[in-house]
Structure 1
Amino acid sequence: MEKVIAYFSTLEQRPLERMALLVGGLLFFWIIEGAIPLVKLQYRRNKIRHALVNFGFTVMHLIIHTGLAVFIVLLSDWCRSAGFGMVYWFNANIGGAILIGVLALDFSSWLVHWIMHKNPYLWRYHLIHHSDNKVDVTTGLRHHPGDSLLRGIFFLLLIFFSGAPMYSVMIYQTLVVITTAFTHANISLPPLLDKTLSYVLVSPNMHKVHHHWMQPYTDSNYGAVFSIWDRLFQTFSTLHPSKIKYGLDRYYPNEKDEDFLDLLKDPFLHKKKL
């Protein structure tokens, strides 16, 4: 356990290693979705072109969160020195600190996601993620910079309230990177396995419901790693994969889902239907 804690405590200082985890996860599920696809995706041009559009947003997302990493480290260290946050209020041991930190940060992911769906202005930024008509492993980090920044702010807020130490923060960030690739990947799991996973974790079929083009399905299944928040707050829903259609029923033209520059500037246009 000490070696695990030591590894994750300093992982933030090894950006190339973190990048390897991200790229490795993407490549792994890229291969798997080619072998056992959930649906046959008809890309506008080809899968590489689609991936390049999403990687453009991924790069911006990573730049923003690399910048926020400085504040994450400072805040986590301050909580430790001040004894502030649930980890210290409950005098948690290492296992308890991991549990509190991971659950708190996963709740931050659920909460900011729910808020972006409910607030018309913030939805402008998040709809770029939902505008992808071909959901695959590369869709996972297709976030407008405004979306990414808001996620970072909520991440900091929950570190503040939980007092999550850096090893707990990095364990969660590693989990969410892998899970994001897994839940967005165009993979077909045995229905019983997918359903069983969804009782605790966000499963691929569960998250695909969130990408269905019509409400109320779009406004459900907000979870990132754990499904417990959607079950607890009654935002969990199911839909057979054969009935799922990706994209949006309004707000942004589906035929322009690979127009990178239009997607980037779209939240700032005043013609938005809210």
Structure 2
Amino acid sequence: MMESVVAYFSTLEQRPVERMALLVGGLIFFWIIEGAIPLFQLKYRKTKFSHALVNFGFTVIHLIIHTALAVLIVLLSDWCRSAGFGLVYWLHANVAGTIAIGVLALDFSSWLVHWSMHQQPYLWRYHLIHHSDNKVDVTTGLRHHPGDSLLRGVFFLLLIFVSGAPMYSVMIYQTLVVITTAFTHANIRLPKKLDKWLSYVLISPNMHKVHHHWKQPYTDSNYGAVFSIWDRLLGTYKELDPSKIRYGLDRYYDNEKDEDFLSLMKDPFIKKQQRQDTALIQPGKKSPST
């Protein structure tokens, strides 16, 4: 069984059509589910499809960037294996241990880069594009500015270097994160007890929706991608009843332009004095209205 898992994921990066099918299949699946059991009755500016087109524009760019980074990921993972460098080799981990170390290390990279973008004003300029979506649904999951996508790639490479994760461990994590990203952003209503129990181990839909609340300190919480362990251990876990959640931003970006693709692309490069908020981008500070 374990040998079959390793064999399948060891070569998955060589099958881009299959990987794309996982991504598209997840999006379609949760698109259907959120239509059947929506958390909120979202009132889109035009239609759900037009909203999706904006987010798909960012998704395409995100996929192009990470496809290019895949070359570096393979090279680095192979170098770690040949040099015996990284936690999995230093600890002489077996296959199960290697998968666990690799998956947890890469999930920590997702938490760490996310936390960093909320703490560092310049990096927040890029990440706020994700938070500017006023209608969070399954298509929001890969709504990342190219600068955001590049930074995620850098942190991903860093934790491969530290962990020594082989390609099968990398591909297992990437498969997990594609599915959970669609799941946690989807506009779906789970029974509260089920969502709560899931959140003890995984990032649940309600847990991640708290992160998309328009005001701090809730925006600066629940940074995890797959597992909730990092937020619970590092003190960034917060709860908020879904009925109190409002999407978007209370500053930094005009909520009326959350579907203006060109404005969203240009926004990180706008000079400080051109922004309406004179406090500019300091995600760790509260605005006067909070």
- Deviation (angstroms), 1:3: 1.3
SS of aligned partner of 2:7? helix
SS at the partner of 2:4?
helix
2:224 aligns with 223
Residues 103-182 of structure 1: matches in 2 within 5 Å?
Answer: 103-182=104-183
Q: Which residue of 1 aligns with 2:256?
A: 255
Structure 2 portions without partners, runs of 5+: 282-290
Q: How does 1:1-274 map to 2 (within 5 A)?
A: 1-270=2-271, 271-272=274-275, 273-274=280-281
Give the letter aligned to residue 221 of structure 1.
N
CA RMSD of aligned residues (A): 0.5
Q: What is the alpha-carbon distance in structure 1 between the residues aligned to residue 44 and residue 243 of structure 2?
A: 18
State the Cα deviation string for residues 162-202 of structure 1 (Å, max 9, x = none).
00000000000000000000000000000000000000000
C-alpha separation between the residues in 2 aligned to 1:20 and 1:269?
A: 37
Question: TM-score, normalized by length of structure 1?
Answer: 1.00
CA distance in 2, matches of 1:39, 1:246: 11
Amino acid at match of 1:85: G
1:200-219 Cα deviation digits (max 9, x unpaired): 00000000000000000000
Q: What amino acid is the match of 2:89?
A: Y
Aligned residues: 274
SS in 1 for 2:187: coil
Where has structure 1 moved over 6 Å in runs of 4 or more?
A: none
The one-letter amino acid of 1:73's match is V
Structure 1: 5+ residue stretches without partners: none
The amino acid across from 2:216 in the alignment is Q
How many Å apart are 1:125 and its aligned residue?
0.1
Aligned counterparts of 1:178 and 1:184: Cα–Cα separation in 2: 10
CA drift of 1:4 comes to 1.2
TM-score, normalised to structure 2, is 0.94
How big is each residue's C-alpha offset from its partner over 1:226-253, in whole Å with a ceiling of 9 and x where there is no partner?
A: 0000000000000000000000000000
Q: Residues of 2 paired with 1:31 and 1:16: CA distance?
A: 22
